[in-house]
Chain A
Amino acid sequence: MKSGNTFKYENRLAKSVVTKGGMTASEALSAAQDAVEQIRDPTIAEIDASLQEIYAVGDQLKAAGVYDEAGLQKIYVCANRVVAMGGVFGLGELGQAAYSLCELVSRFQTLERFHGQMVQVHLDGLRLLRNPGDHLAAIREQVLAGLRQLATSVV
């Protein structure tokens, strides 16, 4: 077995942590939150577009009722986008439901298996959590717990 080479190196990013000038953590957070708010509308539109694609492909897959690698991959990619964007704009639970859908699809892909009802339950969950204010927190948590249980039951 060959031995490796280990060495110390200059971390250029270290220069950005200072005691004078710049901004405090709370100032940086506040400025970043303001900057992110500027793109709230287009990002929410992007989330909705991803959801629509998930619903459409999900319906096609259910109608066909067979394992379709390409269709599942489309759902996975779109759901992963919702995971990435949902939590930034107060749709964290929607993001968690999308994560559960990713987990479900990933397991289907590993096992080359498909179950339309399991996908349908996730689509219903996404629809419900898209408007979290319409439902009690306890109900939303139950929905999420159910989705997680469903996804991890595929073994």
Chain B
Amino acid sequence: MTEKAEVRLNLTKATVLLLQNNQAELDILGQVFIGFGVKAIRKCLTLNEAEDCISAGYVFDLIIVDCDMAAGAGFDFVMRLRRMEDNENRLTPIMLVSGHTAPSSITRARDCGANFVVAKPITPKTMLDRVMWLARETRQFVVTDTYCGPDRRHKTFGPPAGTKGRRRDDVSAKLGKADGPDMSQSDIDALLNPKRAAL
């Protein structure tokens, strides 16, 4: 039997954009990514600095945006970026970091097009978990009139009951006729509780 290789993280060639509206928080995030081995970190305190980086042609592998910027500027930044069809950063994984979130901001955070939201405080452990999660991200990208970003559904449960669904790969919840013999109970048990084969 071959041993499964341990998963390792190599961020030495990754480029990361950090947008935080407070120097101390920006420094914490920067130190975390330095610890992870990232060499190319762009630290931005203002929206203008971040937009300059994006428009200057830098291509990022990960973008971290503060939710707590005045008037929800962080959400607007993400929304604009997701709509920039000619910019490679449009598809870059984006993580929002949020302290206390006012009720009015919760739906904006969900709908702006970020991959997901992480609650502050951002400790190295929290960030590492989320970076690994983002690196394994396989959700499709969705573009509609009202939303642009990764699919907000993490699991596919099919279209809502009573609707046909709008996607080509949406499968009807209605069951059709069986196209083969029923499985035996032992087959079902084996499927739900697989046992290692005795060799």
Interface size band for B: 35 or more
| A130 CB to nearest B CB, Å | 16
Interface size band for A: 35 or more
Bound-state CA distance A43–B32 (Å) is 14
Encoded as 1 (CB less than 8 Å from any B CB) or 0, chain A from 1 to 19 comes to: 1111111111111111111
Stretch among B21-29, B44-52, B180-188, B190-198 lining the A interface: B21-29
* Chain B interface, >50% SS class: loop
Q: Considering the complex, give the chain B residue whose CB is closest to the CB of A109.
A: B102
Bound-state CA distance A102–B8 (Å) is 38
- B120 and A83 form a contact (CB under 8 A): yes
- B61 and A19 form a contact (CB under 8 A): no
Please indicate the chain A residues that have their CB under 8 angstroms from the CB of B27 in the complex.
Answer: 39, 42-43
Stretch among A23-31, A63-71, A120-128 lining the B interface: A23-31
B156-199 contacts to A (CB < 8 Å): 166-167
Bound-state CA distance A23–B34 (Å) is 13
Encoded as 1 (CB less than 8 Å from any A CB) or 0, chain B from 116 to 150 comes to: 00001111110110011011111011111101000
Q: Considering the complex, give the chain B residue whose CB is closest to the CB of A5.
A: B143
Please indicate the chain B residues that have their CB under 8 angstroms from the CB of A83 in the complex.
Answer: 99-100, 120-121
Stretch among A54-62, A86-94, A132-140, A142-150 lining the B interface: A86-94
Cβ-based interface call for B57 (8 A): no
Bound-state CA distance A131–B180 (Å) is 69
Bound-state CA distance A20–B132 (Å) is 16
Please indicate the chain A residues that have their CB under 8 angstroms from the CB of B34 in the complex.
Answer: 32, 35
- A4 and B121 form a contact (CB under 8 A): no
Please indicate the chain B residues that have their CB under 8 angstroms from the CB of A31 in the complex.
Answer: 35-37
Bound-state CA distance A34–B36 (Å) is 11
Cβ-based interface call for B107 (8 A): no
- B128 and A102 form a contact (CB under 8 A): no
Cβ-based interface call for B62 (8 A): yes
Q: Considering the complex, give the chain A residue whose CB is closest to the CB of B91.
A: A9
Cβ-based interface call for B84 (8 A): no
Known: A28-B35, A84-B68. 7 other contacts (CB 8 A): A2-B144, A6-B142, A23-B8, A31-B36, A84-B22, A87-B121, A109-B102
The 8 closest A-B pairs by CB, nearest first: A32-B35, A22-B10, A87-B121, A102-B100, A4-B144, A32-B124, A35-B35, A19-B5
Residues in B lying within 8 Å of A, measured CB to CB: 5-14, 22, 24-25, 27-28, 31-37, 59, 61-62, 68, 91-93, 97, 99-100, 102-103, 120-125, 127-128, 131-132, 134-138, 140-145, 147, 151, 166-167
Residues in A lying within 8 Å of B, measured CB to CB: 1-25, 28-29, 31-36, 38-39, 42-43, 46, 76-77, 79-81, 83-88, 92, 95, 99, 102-103, 106, 109-110
